[in-house]
Amino acid sequence: MDSLRLYLVTWNVATQAPEEDVTALLGLSNRSPKDKLPDLYFIGLQEVKSQPQNMLLDALFDDPWSNTFRTVMAKHKYIKIKTIRLQGLVLSVFSLSHHLTHLRDIQTQFTKTGLGGMWGNKGAVTIRFNLYGCSICVVNSHLTPHDHLLKERVADYNTIVGSQSFSVGETSRIFLHDYVFWIGDLNFRLADPNVLTGPEIKRLVECGELKSLLDRDQLRQAMALGSAFSEMTEQLPSFPPTYKHHLHSSAYDLKRRPSWTDRVLHFVHKNVYENITLHAEQLSYTSVPQYEQSDHKPVISEFAIKVFSDYHDRLVEFMPVEDWYLDEMNSVFCHIGDDVKHSPWDWVGLYKEDFSSLDDYLCYVYVSTTPFWAEQSINQSSQNRNTLKLTFPDTAARLPGKYQVVYVTNSPVSVLGISAPFQVYSPRQPTFDWGQS
Let me know whether 352 and 207 are in one domain: no
372 contact partners, CB below 8 Å, separation of at least 6: 333, 384, 387, 388, 389
| 3-state percent helix, strand, coil for the chain, nearest multiple of 5 | 15, 35, 45
Q: Which residue has the higher pLDDT, 8 or 343?
A: 8
Residue 145, φ and ψ in degrees, nearest 5: -85, -175
Cα–Cα distance between 136 and 124 in angstroms, integer? 16
Give the mean model confidence (pLDDT) for residues 409-417: 93
> Is residue 434 predicted with pLDDT exceeding 80?
no
> Is residue 338 predicted with pLDDT exceeding 70?
yes
Let me know whether 298 and 154 are in one domain: yes
Determine the pLDDT at residue 121. Answer: 87
435 falls within a domain: no
- Which residue type occupies 106? I
411 falls within a domain: yes
Determine the pLDDT at residue 206. Answer: 96
The DSSP code sequence of 393-421 is -TTS--S-EEEEEEEEETTTBEEEEEPPP
> Is residue 60 predicted with pLDDT exceeding 90?
no
392 falls within a domain: yes
Determine the pLDDT at residue 120. Answer: 81
SS3 207: coil
> Is residue 58 predicted with pLDDT exceeding 70?
no
Mean of per-residue pLDDT scores for the chain: 92
Tens-digit pLDDT profile for residues 386-405: 889 999 999 999 999 999 99
> Is residue 376 predicted with pLDDT exceeding 80?
no
Let me know whether 44 and 187 are in one domain: yes
Let me know whether 271 and 390 are in one domain: no
Give the mean model confidence (pLDDT) for residues 242-250: 97
Give the mean model confidence (pLDDT) for residues 115-136: 91
Q: Could you tell me if 186 and 262 are in contact, meaning their C-beta atoms sit under 8 angstroms apart?
A: yes
Determine the pLDDT at residue 11. Answer: 98
Range of weakest confidence among 62-66, 88-92, 211-215, 254-258: 62-66
Nearest Cα neighbor of 229 from 279, 128, 156 is: 156
Let me know whether 151 and 250 are in one domain: yes
Let me know whether 355 and 217 are in one domain: no
Determine the pLDDT at residue 372. Answer: 59
432 falls within a domain: no
Indicate the pTM of the whole model: 0.93
Range of weakest confidence among 180-184, 221-225, 244-248, 306-310: 306-310
**pLDDT over 90 for what percent of the chain?**
81
- Which residue type occupies 411? S
Let me know whether 245 and 96 are in one domain: yes
Q: Which residue has the higher pLDDT, 70 or 169?
A: 70
Relative to beta strand 89-96, strand 103-114 is unpaired
**pLDDT-derived band at 378, boundaries 50, 70, 90:** very low
> Is residue 136 predicted with pLDDT exceeding 60?
yes
Of 307, 336, 351, the one marking the end of a domain is: 307
Of 307, 326, 361, the one marking the end of a domain is: 307
> Is residue 383 predicted with pLDDT exceeding 70?
no
> Is residue 419 predicted with pLDDT exceeding 80?
yes
Q: Could you tell me if 3 and 36 are in contact, meaning their C-beta atoms sit under 8 angstroms apart?
A: no
> Is residue 17 predicted with pLDDT exceeding 80?
yes
Give the mean model confidence (pLDDT) for residues 107-122: 88
> Which residue segment(s) compose the domain that 352 sits in?
316-425
Let me know whether 44 and 146 are in one domain: yes
433 falls within a domain: no
Instruction: Compute CA 414 distance to the chain's CA centroid, rounded to the nearest angstrom.
Output: 14
Tens-digit pLDDT profile for residues 273-296: 998 999 999 999 999 999 999 999
Cα–Cα distance between 109 and 89 in angstroms, integer? 12
437 falls within a domain: no
Let me know whether 171 and 52 are in one domain: yes
Range of weakest confidence among 153-157, 291-295, 334-338: 334-338
Determine the pLDDT at residue 433. Answer: 62
Of 265, 289, 307, the one marking the end of a domain is: 307
394 falls within a domain: yes
331 falls within a domain: yes
Let me know whether 301 and 328 are in one domain: no
Tens-digit pLDDT profile for residues 181-229: 999 999 999 999 999 999 999 999 999 999 999 999 999 999 999 999 9
Let me know whether 95 and 27 are in one domain: yes
Q: Could you tell me if 311 and 260 are in contact, meaning their C-beta atoms sit under 8 angstroms apart?
A: no
**pLDDT-derived band at 377, boundaries 50, 70, 90:** very low
Total domains in the chain come to 2
Let me know whether 8 and 154 are in one domain: yes
303: domain CATH number is 3.60.10.10
